[in-house]
A = this chain, B = another copy of it.
């Protein structure tokens, strides 16, 4: 299988790869003139590309006509993840990208144990992890990790853009099957936008669950077993992708 790289520099049958990826392809993989790679524009279009040159710190390609990436789900899922301790957010991002998540928005809430610290620096790292995972698992887009929201009110205020907001709560709620079946098809062929909200180690305060429902979220459970805060988002994403036919 040819290697895959993301680049936005694709135009008129020519493309360039720069920076670390160019170094990886030219120096680490020791690619040669004429070799084939897959380039992805990060907007779900992929190109078969042939190496035509090695200008300084770059690789140049001739590209064939683009084709839509087949790896993107037909729904656009944003994960709002309660900020966990240690490096669990990295695990959530890495596996979440594999499971088709398009965007990650960490947030702080009442029972979060983690406190904000060097978040700009961490965000750069999180986005690098997301990009690496996207490359490895064959995504057609580069999932984004946003800066964390400061409290749960900011989370609830962020939901106008979605067709469905699923608030995963340890006390259970409506059936995910039913909620996903009720979703309308988009007339214009756009993807349905779904938000998934899961808590940190401490879970949610009852007031936060109420606020989520008032802000329009549907409350759902993940069964009678208590899932860890790094397991719940992956189980939720798997369940949603399964029920919408995106995991088969």
- On A, residues with C-beta under 8 Å from B are 70-71, 73, 94-95, 98-100, 136-139, 172, 175-177, 220-228, 230-231, 234-235, 238-239, 241-243, 246-248
Query: Which B residues are CB-close (under 8 A) to A175?
Result: 248
Q: Which of B99, B221, B226, B248 contacts A136 (CB 8 A)?
A: B226
Please give me the residue from chain B that is nearest to A134 by CB atom.
B225
* Contacts A98-B231, A136-B226 known; 9 new A-B pairs at CB < 8 A: A71-B225, A95-B234, A99-B227, A99-B231, A137-B226, A222-B247, A222-B248, A223-B246, A235-B238
Please give me the residue from chain B that is nearest to A226 by CB atom.
B137
Known: A231-B234, A238-B234. A226 touches B98 (CB 8 A): yes
Query: Which B residues are CB-close (under 8 A) to A224?
Result: 70-71, 138
Query: Which B residues are CB-close (under 8 A) to A73?
Result: 223
Q: Which of B70, B223, B228 contacts A241 (CB 8 A)?
A: B223
Query: Copies of this chain, how many?
Result: 2
Please give me the residue from chain B that is nearest to A228 by CB atom.
B98
- In the assembled complex, the Cα of A21 lies from the Cα of B40 at a distance in Å of 54
Q: Which of B95, B176, B177 contacts A231 (CB 8 A)?
A: B95
A225 touches B177 (CB 8 A): no
* 4 nearest A-B pairs in the assembled complex, by CB-CB distance: A238-B238, A239-B242, A71-B224, A223-B247
Known: A234-B231, A234-B235, A238-B234. A99 touches B225 (CB 8 A): yes
A225 touches B176 (CB 8 A): no
- In the assembled complex, the Cα of A230 lies from the Cα of B91 at a distance in Å of 11
Q: Which of B136, B225, B238 contacts A242 (CB 8 A)?
A: B238
Known: A176-B248, A235-B247, A248-B220. A227 touches B138 (CB 8 A): no
Query: Which B residues are CB-close (under 8 A) to A241?
Result: 223
Query: Which B residues are CB-close (under 8 A) to A176?
Result: 242, 248
Query: Which B residues are CB-close (under 8 A) to A235?
Result: 99, 234, 238, 247
